[in-house]
Amino acid sequence: MGAGVMGSGIAQVLAISGHEVVCRDLADDVLATAREGVDTGRFGVRGAVERGKLTADEAEAALARLTFTTDLDQAVDVDLIIEAVPENLGLKVKFWRELDTLAPPDTIFASNSSGFPIAAMAAGTDRPDRFIGWHWASPAPVMKLAEIVRGPETSDATVDTVVRLAAAAGKNPVVVKDTDQSWGYVANRVYFAMVREANRVVSEGVADREQVDQLMRDCFRWPSGPYGMVAGAGSGWS
């Protein structure tokens, strides 16, 4: 649900790993951009063929398993719904409340939130045992992150299913605990602590943003510094 940078990337990954995927959004132009990105974008399947990550037949098969639609009914009769709507808790709770009335009772709900409590979102549904966080990183087709966030009522069966799906899609699933004490799961809590310190360095006149990024890349072999990471995550690394 959601065909932006994250939603379309998630759909691509799961289609490549063999699943029939419906990618739904409200706007036709967003869906057109998503379809183009999955096909010929920088991290799309055609590029994966050129880099030797997929065969041409595998790329075609993945595209054939993908459906892009604005039709909500077409998108809810599934085994798993992954939400990638804007990071607004009220919006997410409203979204899940509506989906809970439409999706089959056994459907698992997974949020790609970067840090909202799973319990808060699950409370809007009648299936907290089948509600889980599945935090992806951008670009989804490349990054190995699969931060699986278990809520207080998430069942073992739900955790096991999502972990299995993530591993089969080539990700490295790590199960962490939900918390209502602070915003963010492990990856983003540590990341934003780094950004806060980088901002202090810049505000104190010790170094500018470009220098901070360069030092972090050179010292820790990071592919991007903290400021480059913020820009890249927002743009989809375009």
Statement: residue 237 has pLDDT above 90: no
Identify whether 138 is a catalytic site residue: no
Statement: residue 63 has pLDDT above 90: yes
Determine which one of 17, 155, 188, 199 is catalytic. 188
Identify whether 238 is a catalytic site residue: no
Identify whether 19 is a catalytic site residue: no
Of 8 and 232, the one with more pLDDT = 8
What per-residue confidence (pLDDT) applies to 231? 75
Identify whether 147 is a catalytic site residue: yes
Res. 159 pLDDT band, cuts 50 70 90: very high
Determine which one of 8, 111, 113, 114 is catalytic. 114
Cα separation, 168 vs 142, whole angstroms:
14
Q: Are 13 and 5 a contacting pair, CB within 8 Å? A: no
Cα separation, 212 vs 206, whole angstroms:
9
Q: What is the DSSP string of 10-79?
A: HHHHHHHTT--EEEE-S-HHHHHHHHHHHHHSTTSHHHHHHTTSS-HHHHHHHHHTEEEES-HHHHHSSS
Res. 213 pLDDT band, cuts 50 70 90: very high
Determine which one of 19, 111, 113, 135 is catalytic. 135
Out of 3-12, 76-85, 182-191, which region has the weakest mean confidence (pLDDT)?
182-191
Residue 157 contacts by C-beta under 8 Å, 6 or more apart in sequence? none
Q: What is the pLDDT of residues 99-133, one digit of tens each?
A: 999 999 999 999 999 899 999 999 999 999 999 99
What per-residue confidence (pLDDT) applies to 95? 94
- Name the β-bridge partners of 69: 24
Q: Are 208 and 202 a contacting pair, CB within 8 Å? A: yes
Average pLDDT over residues 82-105: 95
What per-residue confidence (pLDDT) applies to 12? 97
What per-residue confidence (pLDDT) applies to 6? 94
Statement: residue 151 has pLDDT above 70: yes
Statement: residue 21 has pLDDT above 80: yes
Statement: residue 236 has pLDDT above 70: no
Mean pLDDT of all residues belonging to the chain:
93
What residue ranges do the domains of the chain occupy?
A: 5-177, 186-235
Superfamily of domain 5-177: NAD(P)-binding Rossmann-like Domain (3.40.50.720)
What per-residue confidence (pLDDT) applies to 223? 85
Q: Which amino acid is at 103?
A: A
